[in-house]
Amino acid sequence: MKIQITLHFPDCQNTKVKKNGKKSNTCKQNYFCKSCGLQFIGDHALTYKGWYSELIHKILLMLVRGVGIRDITEIEKVSIKKVL
């Protein structure tokens, strides 16, 4: 069974991308946009979700309702620094 994920370049939303090696320090796949010629890391959004704007709202709501900091980090899978 093959799973296919369609990647969109974050800036121009073009689907014509190709693999362009891996980053040496993080071992993440690097991609190249054929239309604008820029590079991006495709799986960044899949690995770290601390930059989502909805997440900040959720964290604040949980803190107001008395949920502990360590519990929030386990529920949302983010670091303690992000919650603080």
Strands 29-33 and 17-22: antiparallel
User: Comparing C-alpha atoms, which of 13, 24, 58, 22 is closest to residue 43?
Assistant: 22
| pLDDT higher than threshold 70 for residue 64 | yes
70 or 39, which is more confident:
70
Residue found by looking up tokens 């690995």 in the block? 47
First to last CA, the chain: 42
Mean pLDDT of 14-40: 75
pLDDT reported for residue 2: 64
pLDDT reported for residue 11: 65
DSSP conformational letter for 20: E
Mean pLDDT of 65-79: 90
Which are the contacts of 12, defined by CB distance < 8 A and separation ≥ 6? 33, 35, 36
